[in-house]
Amino acid sequence: MRSAGPGKTRAVVTVATSLVLTLVAVGCTIERPPPQLVGQDVRVTLLHTSDIHSRLFPYHFVPGRVDQAYGLLAGEGPYGGLARLGQIIKEQRAQASRSLWLDSGDCFQGAPIFNLYRGEAEFRVLSELGLDGAVIGNHEFDLGAHNLYQQIVGWAEFPLLAANYLFEDPTEPGRPKLAEVAEPYRFYDLDGVVVVAIGMANWSSLTGVFEGGNSLGIRPLDDAETVERMVRLVRPAADLVVLVSHLGLDEDEGLAANEVSDQNEDLMAGCGPDGTRSCLDGVDVILGGHLHIVLNPPKLVQTDKYGHPTVLAHSGAFAKYVGRLDLVVRMGANNADPERRSQITAYTYENFPVSCGPRARSSDPCPNASDPDTLALLHPYAVELNQLLDLDGVFAYVDTPADTKIGRNDPSGGDSQLGNLVARAMQQRPGVDADFAITNSLGIRADFEQGPLTLEAMYNVFPFENSITLMFLSGVEVRETLDFVARKSSDRGCRTQAQVAGITFTMVCGENARAEEIYLGERCRTADGTIDPGSGCLPLLDEGLYRVAVNDYIAAGGSGFTVLKRNTSKQNTGIPLRAALMEHIRGLNDCAPDVLDVTSPEAESVLELYGPVTCLDETIEAHDDRIFPRFE
């Protein structure tokens, strides 16, 4: 049992618990009858986080339009960090008589602390702060199932949930033992209100789980069937059924909620003998993750025939927000009877941005409080990280015109300047030297903002440890891959879902989405977007064989790149994309002596401040229609 805030406790209960609540505190066992709440309206507070991605320390970035719309304002950084997030959690719990903090997965991977400590720090901090439960996210497996098992056993004091994973026999020598430590669901008693959290883990990003005997030791179970089976099992013993989900289909923290596809909503149909009943019948709340979005207000997914609502909430990513969902629950007389069970009668939602907050002067200290216990726990990690990595070290300068940047997206929907730069670094990396390169757009997570470019900024761009994979593709395979890019992009408003170097194509969006006019070479187009016959670019030949650089994620079939997954010539070079890009940038031209750092108080020269570093301007790998969107 863990403290739920000043003067409050919460206890885990089993399905069989009905009349007596057993509380264990200070070594004593106390039995008392639960409060009689039938017919009463009771408030329950669900605190929600998701996709923390190892952002245990505050970090710098420039909030985009979506983040600013949800209160993460420019000039109020640094942002995130578990000490500030934990302070918000504790403050909100102090205001709630019945509260539960649940996380929707992917607390691993995305910052240097994970690379060094393999998840130890994440689980220690979340345990210290009193997290009640978390679903297993796909990035929890980034260092393998054995590492996840070791970190859970060593440091996690909260349950890790996954109802839609079938774990293989843990007694077999050498196999992962996650079946011993993962749970499908967990019951909680909030002073007479029984809540069950069911974990719906991600498998859409773990392509290997569909192969028998995979190294993770898991097999995915059908989501709809899992939800129906779990709800049928736990609903009679619960006043609230909560899906803690990492099922999200798309993922991009830069998009608004209406711009992404949410797999949680696909559960509305497909159950019952005729397949038309909603699988969400009996589910009160879905706390979603993996999409990296804020859904405010939450979505009323459905109301069943008895008038019971199902509410869906998302609370962002990278420790940028804490979501608070307040529910009014009318306590029913019989939770086994759909007509007489407890139900939500009203709800409100608020998301709290995790930032430094407004300051009177830029030199003022951060006014927003941080949890002192979390700061103390993280201090030794911070000291060692600073000794090993210079995250604030400047290795380049972004010398773009005022109020501009080197962006990962282009207004045209085609290739972007930063995407071109990343793909070029992959293609030209010594030892790779590919005919062309392709990488998924969503693997590039932030822009290069005007001003000094640091190692921390590179971790913002590449929070995940993807590496360059080299393969040989036939012309037919190249065409099939680019056709897939066109189809996937067509579903996202004809905004390209890939970035390339060394190849040009027309991305036709519409009912018959496809790639046309595929040429290999550089600067293949004229100003009006047509192929320049004098450019030296050569058309793709179906019978040709091409040396291609991709990232290891899409090489394994991630984001739907099944053509690349089928290819048997893959060779993972082990070269991180982040390192390749930094090396490529260092090989470009240094800043001239007259280039001034516009972010410094005295506008001193870049050379004086940082020494001879590379300058990146608006001409470096500028958007050149190498991916040319066309609606049809």
Average pLDDT over residues 435-457: 95
By 3-state DSSP, what share of the chain in percent is helix, strand and coil, each rounded to 5? 25, 30, 45
Angle at alpha carbon of residue 250, lines to 248 and 251, rounded to 5°: 90
Of 196-200, 217-221, 423-427, the one with minimum mean pLDDT is 217-221
CB atoms within 10 A of CB 618: 14
Asked if pLDDT for residue 73 goes beyond 90, the answer is yes
Residue 628 falls in which region: left (phi positive, over 0), alpha (psi -120 to 50) or beta: beta
Asked if pLDDT for residue 465 goes beyond 50, the answer is yes
Sign of CA dihedral 15, 20, 11, 346: positive
Residue 139 falls in which region: left (phi positive, over 0), alpha (psi -120 to 50) or beta: alpha
At 28 the pLDDT is: 47
pTM of the predicted protein model? 0.89
CA dist., res. 500 & res. 524, Å (int): 13
CA dist., res. 22 & res. 290, Å (int): 35
Q: What pLDDT digit, counting tens, does each position of 15-29 carry?
A: 444 333 333 333 445
Q: What pLDDT digit, counting tens, does each position of 406-431 carry?
A: 999 999 999 999 999 999 999 999 99
Look-up: residue for tokens 């339009």?
65
At 461 the pLDDT is: 93
Q: Which has the higher per-residue pLDDT, 23 or 87?
A: 87
At 6 the pLDDT is: 35
Average pLDDT over residues 585-595: 96
Q: Which has the higher per-residue pLDDT, 62 or 159?
A: 159
Q: DSSP assignment of 104-133, as one string?
A: -S--SSSSHHHHHHTTHHHHHHHHHHT--E
Taking a C-beta distance cutoff of 8 angstroms, is the pair 364, 371 a contact?
Answer: no
Q: What pLDDT digit, counting tens, does each position of 341-382 carry?
A: 999 999 999 999 999 988 766 667 888 899 999 999 999 999
Q: What pLDDT digit, counting tens, does each position of 505-532 carry?
A: 999 999 999 999 999 999 999 988 899 9
Q: Take residue 394 and report the two structure tokens written for it.
A: 């400047």
Average per-residue pLDDT in the chain? 90
Average pLDDT over residues 282-309: 95
Q: What pLDDT digit, counting tens, does each position of 129-187 carry?
A: 999 999 999 999 999 888 999 999 999 999 999 999 988 765 666 666 888 999 999 99
Look-up: residue for tokens 């086994």?
336
Give percent of the chain with pLDDT exceeding 70.
90
- Which domains does the chain possess? 7-376 (3.60.21.10), 390-631 (3.90.780.10)
N- to C-terminal Cα distance for the chain?
60
At 167 the pLDDT is: 84
Average pLDDT over residues 382-389: 93
At 174 the pLDDT is: 64
Return phi, psi of residue 148, to 5°: -60, -45
At 535 the pLDDT is: 92
Asked if pLDDT for residue 206 goes beyond 80, the answer is no
Look-up: residue for tokens 């004086």?
608
Of 86-100, 250-264, 551-565, the one with minimum mean pLDDT is 250-264
Q: What pLDDT digit, counting tens, does each position of 557-576 carry?
A: 988 899 999 999 999 999 99
Asked if pLDDT for residue 464 goes beyond 90, the answer is no
Taking a C-beta distance cutoff of 8 angstroms, is the pair 440, 518 a contact?
Answer: no
Q: Which has the higher per-residue pLDDT, 16 or 238?
A: 238
At 31 the pLDDT is: 65
Q: Take residue 248 and report the two structure tokens written for it.
A: 């999200």
Return phi, psi of residue 224, to 5°: -65, -45
At 55 the pLDDT is: 96
Kindly list the distances between the CA atom of residue 581 and the CA atoms of 108, 133, 298, 388, 467, in Å, as whole numbers in the listed order.
23, 38, 39, 21, 11
Residue 470: band (very low, low, confident or very high) from pLDDT cuts 50, 70, 90 = very high
Residue 260: band (very low, low, confident or very high) from pLDDT cuts 50, 70, 90 = confident
CA dist., res. 97 & res. 7, Å (int): 9
Residue 1: band (very low, low, confident or very high) from pLDDT cuts 50, 70, 90 = very low
Helices 120-129 and 82-94, interaxial angle, to 10°? Answer: 20
CA dist., res. 252 & res. 351, Å (int): 18
CA atoms within 13 A on the CB side of 153: 12
- β pairing state of 436-440 and 545-551: parallel
Closest CA to 50 of 118, 116, 110, 10: 110
The DSSP letter of residue 164 is S
Strand-pair partners of 527: none
Sign of CA dihedral 391, 397, 400, 401: positive
